[in-house]
Amino acid sequence: MDKRTQSTSTVAQARGAQPDFSAIKHRQQATWASGDFAVIGVTLQIVGETLAEAADIHAGETVLDVAAGNGNASLAAAHRFARVTSTDYVPALLDKGRARAEAEGLKIDFRVADAENLPFADSAFDVALSTFGVMFTPDHMKSSSELLRVVRPGGRIGLASWTPDGLVGQLFKTIGKYVPPPAGLRSPAMWGTEEYLRELFGAQAAAIRIVRRQFVFRYASTGHWLQVFKDYYGPVQKAFAALDGPGQAALEADITGMLHGANSAGGASLVVPSEYLEAVIVKRSE
């Protein structure tokens, strides 16, 4: 089987199964509403700033942040004097973004919205952004189609997505060994591969620019990282809650071992890079 045929086969397999997206989305919404992702989200602000630069945000442009969480890309676009709409399906996260915008004196429109069914007209925005957000939607075809729909011809879509082999990609693989995802659900980390982005967006893209980057997690220790994620990161919190005592101990040991193996700071603290894919898709002009 040649590479092109293998790629087509892989994507076809990924699209073959049709899980109950509505039920999955309901559970995911509850997961992201648990804990307080904003505690971790604010540490990722540099990713939003870097993505805004990559997408070449101009003053006065209309920018939509999809699955915005607590607003990293929203704030980054507003820092560049764009007209920003920040959306998420978890109202509490939007409240955190709103508080950050108010503290900085930034004007941003915050709206509850589902990334798979955006309440905006066709071609309503110059740019759409998402940092580690839209990649977690259950129906990848719907969410990618919505991004393309709401961006004008010639506009840009900027995405930051964890790669399968980076720390967060490996974290979700590890969790999946203990708490398997629903049958047929495509991995969020597929968004962190160039091949898959070209499958999702290539037919309507004039250009797709890809850069592999590293976000560096910096915590006091592996124990500190794990405690913060158990307390505040919904997917980790829910995974531990779903396991009995021995299962929790085994999952904690696996995650701790992964962090130890990637730590570049020795025993002084925790410094662990996590690879992500930065993509800027230029929508084909009509």
Q: Stretch 88-116: mean pLDDT, rounded?
A: 97
Q: Are 282 and 207 in contact (CB under 8 A)?
A: yes
Q: Does residue 84 register a pLDDT over 70?
A: yes
Structure confidence at residue 68 (pLDDT): 98
C-alpha 279/C-alpha 276 separation (Å) is 10
**pLDDT digit string (tens) for 183-201?**
888 999 999 999 999 999 9
Place 131 in a pLDDT band, splitting at 50, 70 and 90.
very high
Angle at 213 between CA 220 and CA 210, to 5 degrees: 160
Place 17 in a pLDDT band, splitting at 50, 70 and 90.
low
C-alpha 191/C-alpha 182 separation (Å) is 18
**pLDDT digit string (tens) for 222-257?**
999 999 999 999 999 999 999 999 999 999 999 999
Residue with tokens 């699209």: 15
Paired residues of 283 in beta bridges: 205
Q: Does residue 7 register a pLDDT over 70?
A: no
pTM: 0.90
- Strands in 83-88's sheet, in edge-to-edge order, are 108-112, 83-88, 62-65, 125-131, 151-162, 270-283, 205-219
Share of the chain above pLDDT 90, in %: 84
Task: Give the phi and the psi of residue 102 in degrees, each rounded to 5.
Answer: -65, -40
Residues in contact with 253: Cβ distance below 8 Å, sequence separation at least 6, in sequence order: none
Residue with tokens 């950050």: 100
C-alpha 12/C-alpha 103 separation (Å) is 47
Structure confidence at residue 13 (pLDDT): 42
Domains and CATH numbers, the chain: 3-215+274-283 (3.40.50.150)
